[in-house]
Amino acid sequence: MQASPLKRSWLASLAGLSSLFFLLPAHAGELDGNSQAVMLQGFHWESHESPSWWNVVNTQAADIATSGFTMVWLPPSSDAASVEGYLPRQLYVQTSTYGTEAQLKSAIGALHTRGVKALADVVINHRVGTSNWADFTNPTWGSNAVCAGDEWAGATGNPDTGDGYGAARDLDHTQGFVQSDISTWMNWLKSSIGYDGWRYDYVKGYAGSFVGTYNTNTVPYFSVGEVWTDLNLANPDPHRQLIVDWIDATSGKSAAFDFTTKGILQQAVQYNEFWRLKDSQGKPSGVIGWWPAKSVTFIDNHDTGPSPGGSGGQNHWPFPIDKVMQGYAYILTHPGVPTVYWPHFFDWGHRDAIRALINVRKSQGLTSTSTVSIQVADSSNYAAIIDGKVAMKIGPGSWSPGSGWTLATSGTGYSVWTKSSPPPSGKVRTVIYIYKQTQPGQDIFIRGGHDQTLVNAGYYPSISEPISYLNTLNTTTAGVKAGDTSLDWSSDSALDWTCNAWPSEWGTAKYYTVDGYGQDSENTRGLHWWKFDVEMDGQQGDWFEFKAFLRNSDGSTQWENDITQASAPYSTINHWGRKGYVTFVTFGQSQADFVALP
Question: Tens of pLDDT along the chain (598 residues)?
Answer: 223 233 333 222 222 222 222 232 232 222 356 788 999 999 999 999 999 999 999 999 999 988 889 999 999 999 999 999 999 999 999 999 999 999 999 999 999 988 899 999 999 999 999 999 999 999 999 999 999 999 999 999 999 999 999 999 999 999 999 999 999 999 999 999 999 999 999 999 999 999 999 999 999 999 999 999 999 999 999 999 999 999 999 999 999 999 999 999 999 999 999 999 999 999 999 999 999 999 999 999 999 999 999 999 999 999 999 999 999 999 999 999 999 999 999 999 999 999 999 989 988 889 999 999 999 999 999 999 999 999 999 999 999 999 889 898 999 999 999 987 554 567 899 999 999 999 999 999 999 998 777 677 666 778 899 999 999 999 999 999 999 999 999 999 999 999 999 998 999 999 999 999 999 999 989 999 999 999 998 888 889 999 999 999 999 999 999 998 877 777 789 999 999 999 999 999 998 889 988 8
The answer on 218 and 344 residing in a single domain is yes
Q: Are residues 502 and 581 in the same domain?
A: yes
Same domain, 452 and 517: yes
Nearest Cα neighbor of 539 from 592, 596, 591, 486 is 596
**82 within a domain of the structure (yes/no):** yes
Residue 19 in any domain: the answer is: no
b vs e for 261-273, b when ≥16 Cβ sit within 10 Å of the residue's Cβ? bbbbbbbbbeeeb
| DSSP H helices in 350-470 | 351-363, 452-456
**Residue 511 placed within a domain:** yes
Q: Is 574 helix (H, G, I), strand (E, B) or coil?
A: coil
CATH number for position 398: 2.60.40.1180
DSSP H/E element including 106: helix 101-113
What amino acid positions are annotated as catalytic residues? 201, 226
Number of structural domains (the chain) is 3
Structural contact between residues 559 and 532, judged by C-beta atoms closer than 8 angstroms: no
Count of C-beta atoms within a 10 Å radius of residue 175: 18
Question: CB 10: neighbour CB atoms within 10 A?
Answer: 9
Which of 349, 366, 383 terminates a domain? The answer is 366
Let me know whether 220 and 249 are in one domain. yes
Residue 585, domain member (yes or no): yes
Q: Are residues 494 and 411 in the same domain?
A: no
Residues 68 and 196 in one domain: yes
Query: Is residue 10 domain-resident?
Result: no
Structural domain contains residue 20: no
pTM for the whole thing? 0.74
Angle, helices 53-66 vs 101-113, to 10°: value is 0
Q: Are 336 and 381 in a shared domain?
A: no
Would residue 56 count as lying in a domain?
Answer: yes
Same domain, 160 and 238: yes
Residues 146 and 164 in one domain: yes
Q: In the listed set 344, 366, 388, which residue is the last one of a domain according to the structure? A: 366
Are 156 and 300 part of one and the same domain? yes
Residues 473 and 503 in one domain: yes
The enclosing domain of 446 has a CATH number of 2.60.40.10
Domain end position, chosen among 366, 385, 405: 366
Range of the domain at 221: 30-366
Check which CATH number belongs to the domain holding 256 and give it. 3.20.20.80
Is there a single domain that holds both residue 177 and residue 292?
yes
| 11 part of a folded domain | no
